[in-house]
Amino acid sequence: MCGIVGYVGEKQAAPILLDGLSKLEYRGYDSAGIAVFDGEKINMTKAKGRLKVLEEITHGGSTMPGVLGVGHTRWATHGEPSDVNAHPHLNRDGSIAVVHNGIIENYLKLKKKLVKKGYEFVSDTDTEVIAHLLDYYYDGNPLRAITKVMHRMEGSYALGIIFKDFPDELYAVRKDSPLIVGHTETGSIIASDVPAVLKYTRDVYFIENEEIVRMEKDSMEFFNVDEEQIEKEPVHIEWDVDAAEKGGYEHFMLKEMYEQPKAITDTFSPRIRGNEIVIEELNMSDEDIRAVKKLMIVACGSAYHAGVTGKYVFEGMARIPVEVDLASEFRYRDPILEEGTLVIVISQSGETADSLAALRESRERGAKVLGIVNVVGSSIAREADNVMYTWAGPEIAVATTKAYSCQLIALYLLAVKFAKVRGQISDAQVKEYIEDLKRLPDQVELLLNNKNKIQKFANRYLAAKDVFFIGRGIDYAISLEGSLKLKEISYIHSEAYAAGELKHGTISLIEEGTLVTAVLTQEDLFKKMISNIVEVRTRGAFVLAVTTEGNDEVKKAADYVIYIPRTNRFFTNSLAIIPLQLFGYYISVGRGCDVDKPRNLAKSVTVE
Ligand code: F6R
Q: Are residues 460 and 430 in the same domain?
A: no
Is the model more confident about 36 or about 382? 36
Q: Is the C-beta atom of 303 inside 6 A of ligand 1?
A: yes
Instruction: Write the CB contacts of 236 (distance below 8 Å, at least 6 apart in sequence).
Output: 202, 203
Backbone phi and psi for residue 500, each to the nearest 5 degrees, phi listed first: -70, -15
Structural domain contains residue 471: yes
Q: What is the 300 CA–ligand 1 centroid distance (Å)?
A: 6
Of 256, 300, 330, the one to substitute when testing ligand 1's pocket (max ligand atoms within 8 A of C-beta) is 300
- Interval 119-127 mean pLDDT: 96
* Ligand 1 atom at minimal distance to the Cα of residue 485: 7
Q: Is the C-beta atom of 581 inside 6 A of ligand 1?
A: no
* Ligand 1 atom at minimal distance to the Cα of residue 398: 8
Q: What is the pTM of this model?
A: 0.84
- Interval 454-462 mean pLDDT: 95
Task: For the chain, give the percent of residues with pLDDT over 90.
Answer: 88
Q: Does 42 have pLDDT greater than 70?
A: yes
DSSP label at residue 290: H
Give the residue, by CA position, lying nearest to ligand 1 atom 10: 302
DSSP strand pairing (31-37 vs 42-48) = antiparallel
Structural domain contains residue 607: no
Task: Show the CA angle centred on residue 489, arms to residues 486 and 491, nearest 5°.
Answer: 80
Distance of CA 430 to the CA centre of its chain: 24
Q: Does 361 have pLDDT greater than 80?
A: yes
Q: What is the 568 CA–ligand 1 centroid distance (Å)?
A: 27
Of 485, 494, 605, 607, the one to substitute when testing ligand 1's pocket (max ligand atoms within 8 A of C-beta) is 605
pLDDT in tens, 508-561: 999 999 999 999 999 999 999 999 999 999 999 999 999 999 999 999 999 999
Is the model more confident about 78 or about 491? 491
Q: What is the 346 CA–ligand 1 centroid distance (Å)?
A: 9
Residue ending a domain, among 229, 245, 261, is 245
Q: What is the 303 CA–ligand 1 centroid distance (Å)?
A: 6
Q: Is the C-beta atom of 301 inside 6 A of ligand 1?
A: yes
Structural domain contains residue 529: yes
Question: What residue type is assigned to position 263 of the chain?
Answer: A
**Which range marks the domain in which residue 207 is found?**
3-245
pLDDT at residue 236, as a whole number: 87
Q: Is the C-beta atom of 488 inside 6 A of ligand 1?
A: yes
Asked if residue 539 lies in contact with residue 507, where contact means CB atoms within 8 angstroms, the answer is: yes
Q: Are residues 51 and 196 in the same domain?
A: yes
The CB-side HSE value for 404 (13 A sphere, CA atoms) comes to 32
Q: Are residues 462 and 321 in the same domain?
A: no
Structural domain contains residue 608: no
Of 305, 325, 348, 356, the one to substitute when testing ligand 1's pocket (max ligand atoms within 8 A of C-beta) is 348
Lowest pLDDT segment from 159-163, 342-346, 393-397: 393-397
Q: What is the 166 CA–ligand 1 centroid distance (Å)?
A: 48
Q: Is the C-beta atom of 349 inside 6 A of ligand 1?
A: yes
Q: Is the C-beta atom of 381 inside 6 A of ligand 1?
A: no
pLDDT at residue 228, as a whole number: 96
Structural domain contains residue 600: no
Q: Is the C-beta atom of 401 inside 6 A of ligand 1?
A: no
- Interval 270-284 mean pLDDT: 95
Q: Does 606 have pLDDT greater than 80?
A: no
Q: Are residues 283 and 420 in the same domain?
A: yes
Q: What is the 351 CA–ligand 1 centroid distance (Å)?
A: 10
Q: What is the 245 CA–ligand 1 centroid distance (Å)?
A: 23
Whether a cis peptide bond, with omega within 30° of 0, leads into 178 is no
Question: What residue type is assigned to position 491 of the chain?
Answer: Y
Closest CA to 546 of 562, 526, 533: 562
Q: Are residues 411 and 519 in the same domain?
A: no
Q: Does 239 have pLDDT greater than 80?
A: no
Structural domain contains residue 603: no
Q: Is the C-beta atom of 253 inside 6 A of ligand 1?
A: no
Q: Are residues 155 and 205 in the same domain?
A: yes
Task: Show the CA angle centred on residue 566, arms to residues 265 and 549, nearest 5°.
Answer: 135
Q: Is the C-beta atom of 91 inside 6 A of ligand 1?
A: no
pLDDT at residue 57, as a whole number: 96
- Interval 482-499 mean pLDDT: 97
Give the residue, by CA position, lying nearest to ligand 1 atom 7: 399
Q: Are residues 394 and 520 in the same domain?
A: no
Q: Are residues 177 and 285 in the same domain?
A: no
Sign of torsion over alpha carbons 235, 240, 245, 250 = negative
Q: Is the C-beta atom of 521 inside 6 A of ligand 1?
A: no
Q: Quote the number of domains for the chain.
A: 3
Backbone phi and psi for residue 442, each to the nearest 5 degrees, phi listed first: -70, -35
Question: Domain of 366: which CATH number?
Answer: 3.40.50.10490
Q: Are residues 415 and 387 in the same domain?
A: yes
- Interval 115-143 mean pLDDT: 97
Q: Are residues 127 and 269 in the same domain?
A: no
Give 1's pLDDT tier (boundaries 50, 70, 90): low
Of 298, 324, 349, the one to substitute when testing ligand 1's pocket (max ligand atoms within 8 A of C-beta) is 349
Q: Does 242 have pLDDT greater than 80?
A: no
Q: Is the C-beta atom of 300 inside 6 A of ligand 1?
A: yes
Asked if residue 307 lies in contact with residue 344, where contact means CB atoms within 8 angstroms, the answer is: yes
Q: Are residues 399 and 421 in the same domain?
A: yes
pLDDT at residue 119, as a whole number: 97
Q: Does 377 have pLDDT greater than 90?
A: no
The span from the CA of 191 to the CA of 198, in Å, is 10
Would you please indicate which residues are annotated as catalytic (active-site) residues?
Answer: 2, 603
Asked if residue 467 lies in contact with residue 515, where contact means CB atoms within 8 angstroms, the answer is: yes
Q: Is the C-beta atom of 483 inside 6 A of ligand 1?
A: no
Average pLDDT, the chain: 95
The span from the CA of 251 to the CA of 233, in Å, is 28
Give the residue, by CA position, lying nearest to ligand 1 atom 16: 347
Structural domain contains residue 598: no
Sign of torsion over alpha carbons 268, 274, 280, 283 = positive
Residue ending a domain, among 399, 414, 441, is 441
- Interval 374-383 mean pLDDT: 89
Question: Domain of 147: which CATH number?
Answer: 3.60.20.10
Q: What is the 314 CA–ligand 1 centroid distance (Å)?
A: 22
- Interval 175-182 mean pLDDT: 91
Structural domain contains residue 602: no
Backbone phi and psi for residue 388, each to the nearest 5 degrees, phi listed first: -110, 115
Closest CA to 396 of 375, 379, 381: 375
Q: Is the C-beta atom of 302 inside 6 A of ligand 1?
A: yes
pLDDT in tens, 331-356: 999 999 999 999 999 999 999 999 99
* Ligand 1 atom at minimal distance to the Cα of residue 401: 7
Q: What is the 154 CA–ligand 1 centroid distance (Å)?
A: 32
Q: Is the C-beta atom of 605 inside 6 A of ligand 1?
A: yes
Q: Is the C-beta atom of 532 inside 6 A of ligand 1?
A: no
Residue ending a domain, among 193, 214, 245, is 245
Q: Is the C-beta atom of 400 inside 6 A of ligand 1?
A: yes
* Ligand 1 atom at minimal distance to the Cα of residue 404: 10
Backbone phi and psi for residue 86, each to the nearest 5 degrees, phi listed first: -65, 155
Q: What is the 232 CA–ligand 1 centroid distance (Å)?
A: 42
Q: Are residues 428 and 313 in the same domain?
A: yes
Q: What is the 395 CA–ligand 1 centroid distance (Å)?
A: 11
* Ligand 1 atom at minimal distance to the Cα of residue 301: 9
